[in-house]
Structure 1
């Protein structure tokens, strides 16, 4: 009996030692695998951190690139304005030279003729001049009437040149959603851009020359939507545009203003009240402007 108990004890001891050895080996294997996984996780975290730094660098580079593009566009607009001013000045100088050429010839001829007149002829000429200067049948002095006509023609010519130089009109085709506060509303489809002042990528008009401008904008909001936008001159609010759709329908708001601008001034339309707003496209929203008078 003692022999059987001794053999049983040895057998249990052997099994216990074997199980303990197997369990310890598995535990060591799990620890090794866990160490490998932790190392891989650390490597992934390092790569993720590097990727985030690269993304941040790319975003900074994009911001700098956008600023450079905007600066180049402004410089280009200023160059175009200077070129237009030079052409207008050359044209004005040409007109002035032609006018100066005509007037001295007429004055010289009159002076020489007056020198040759006798005393009696001078009296007759004086009477004729007084008669010519007297009011005509229309009640206006002939000389002043001619001067007024010339002034009107010059005014019309100046206005015509101005209106034919700078004018733009752009439409919004795609819907613009998730528009933040103070974010520009971009009208990407350009119908007219005489003078090259409107920049469709940013929705900004940069005045190529100084003068009096007319601007107009129309905004269509989504069904049951509400939009409160503003037209800004150099970042300063000029007027507001409001639309509020209800009962499952759209709504549309418009504004027109007259602004005195210097060359290089900017005008844009932007959202300013609701964050995450939406603007309806489909050529229902627009932004237009034109120069009516040079300064």
Structure 2
């Protein structure tokens, strides 16, 4: 439905096939992350028109416009995990997964992004924390319109 609305607004009939989009997950076991560094989501589920680099954890915006960005993190049982959604080195949204039975936190946001901007989910804690992998943590984004 969103594809049809966007196509009508843009007078475009490609039904979203050419829009940048990605979905990645973290499947490594329970990595310890130290410092304010990007989380490297290693499992690429969807990769359309480029942008996400699993070796760095960054989504580099391939086309200027509005984007829907979402992320879900999960802490290891008995621990907490702090993260942020970061755009060009600035924290946009803070996330906190509690230690209650592997707490999780999700965020969804619409951002105006310019080609070349860098977006990531990064660790926000002051020390080292363990994030729950096994496919429970996700990062995704897709182009909405100009």
- Structure 2 length-normalised TM: 0.88
Aligned to 2:73: 219
Native 8 Å contact 1:243 1:252 kept in 2: yes
Q: How does 1:159-178 map to 2 (within 5 A)?
A: 164-178=18-32
Counterpart pick for 1:232 among 59, 62, 86: 86
Native 8 Å contact 1:205 1:268 kept in 2: yes
Cα RMSD between the aligned structures?
A: 2.0
Native 8 Å contact 2:31 2:133 kept in 1: no
Aligned to 1:254: 106
Aligned to 1:119: none
The structure number with the bigger radius of gyration is 1
Native 8 Å contact 1:163 1:290 kept in 2: no
Question: Unpaired segments of 5 or more residues in structure 2?
Answer: 1-5
Q: How does 1:55-66 map to 2 (within 5 A)?
A: none
Distance 1:157 1:175 in 2: 45
Greater relative contact order structure (CA < 8 Å, 6+ sep): 2
The structure-2 alpha-carbon separation of the partners of 1:291 and 1:159, relative to structure 1 and needing over 3 Å to count, comes to farther
- Give CA-to-partner distance per residue, 1:101-160, whole Å, 9 cap, x none: xxxxxxxxxxxxxxxxxxxxxxxxxxxxxxxxxxxxxxxxxxxxxxxxxxx975253485
Counterpart pick for 1:284 among 123, 133, 136: 136
Structure having the higher helix fraction is: 1
Q: CA deviation at 1:178?
A: 2.7
Aligned to 1:44: none
Structure having the higher strand fraction is: 2
Counterpart pick for 1:193 among 47, 70, 80: 47
Distance 1:233 1:179 in 2: 19
The structure-2 alpha-carbon separation of the partners of 1:236 and 1:184, relative to structure 1 and needing over 3 Å to count, comes to same
- Give CA-to-partner distance per residue, 1:209-231, whole Å, 9 cap, x none: 10000100000100111011000
- Structure 1 length-normalised TM: 0.45
Native 8 Å contact 2:27 2:134 kept in 1: yes
